[in-house]
Chain A
């Protein structure tokens, strides 16, 4: 397992096959489709995360796409969308965004999913306007 320790700050794209534990700050994009990404209690992530399994105990701003499951811990804070076959939320977790469940493996192929971040960027239209 690779660890980004508390006090460390990384910007850019992270990809590979090793499990990743983030307890520091990360910005950019994380793509570990066959591995597990864990954001520790001190972790601060501003990135979209794509992984087999995603566990959040800290703070994440970005969209999550998991092949198997996403878990939000009691102290976690997520702003972004979640696309996963299985989703576990502990009481106390905070989520601002959208949850969409897909069949196992389907999240990897899904391409038409709108994200809460996208939605957040969208201007609120008038009541008579149409978004789709």
Chain B
């Protein structure tokens, strides 16, 4: 699948009644619903895949799973932020339970990141056609982020796409995301799983996706930047 070679003349396989561009097609948000050009492009890019595989890095939602299943995709989910939080809590508990006087091994954020990834995001290389990363990169620790990026890149097929969101300021609320239709997703306020770590500048976004061969960004009226990255 080639970003540039693919034209819009062909009807996308994942077309639906609401995929016609209209006045609302400009990326923006209203309440808890966000009209997303990034999502629309993402679906268009993966539409060629027969029995394609999608990885959702957020929590599992019936709406998202049904959306892709109905289009013939296989869906995997792995709530990375929650898994990371639980991993850290577990490590802290182990540390607390360690007998006093025992020589505790030296720990570092990089070691934690490596240990976490020993049991997370374990998929074969070039397994997925698309990855829904939502805004998790805004929340990952600095040591974990590049390792996750490497893993995501590895498990994505050539031509596969990553959809990601970047906040231009610290978000007021922690939200999770689920797909509503071809160009809309819902923001679902949730209890904070992870603290917003940073606001990425454009150059930084391009840097962390440096291995990817192509990128495209869409800025909504709410100044949330949607990024679409192609391997």
Contacts and interface: CB of A to CB of B under 8 A. Distances in A.
Interface of A: 72, 87-91, 93-101, 116, 119-122, 124-132
Given A96-B83, A97-B77, A124-B154, A130 B125 contact: yes
Interface string B55-72: 000011110011001000
A121 B122 contact: yes
Contacts of A130: 125-126
Interface residues of B, number: 28
Contacts of B60: 72, 89, 93-95
Contacts, number: 78
B123 interface: yes
A126 B154 contact: yes
Interface of B: 53, 59-62, 65-66, 69, 74-79, 82-83, 121-127, 151, 153-155, 211
B86 to A, nearest CB: 10
A125 B154 contact: yes
The majority secondary structure among interface residues of chain A is: mixed
Residue among B83, B121, B123, B155 with most chain A CB within 10 A: B123
A56 to B, nearest CB: 12
A87 B69 contact: yes
Contact of A131 (B61, B126, B211): B126
B126 A99 contact: no
Contacts of B151: 124
Residue among B77, B126, B153 with most chain A CB within 10 A: B77
A97 B65 contact: no
A127 B153 contact: yes
Given A96-B78, A127-B125, 8 more contacts: A88-B62, A100-B74, A119-B122, A124-B124, A124-B155, A130-B125, A131-B124, A131-B125
Contact of A124 (B61, B69, B75, B123): B123
Contacts of A88: 62
Residue among A90, A116, A120, A124 with most chain B CB within 10 A: A124
Contacts of B82: 94
A124 B82 CA distance: 21
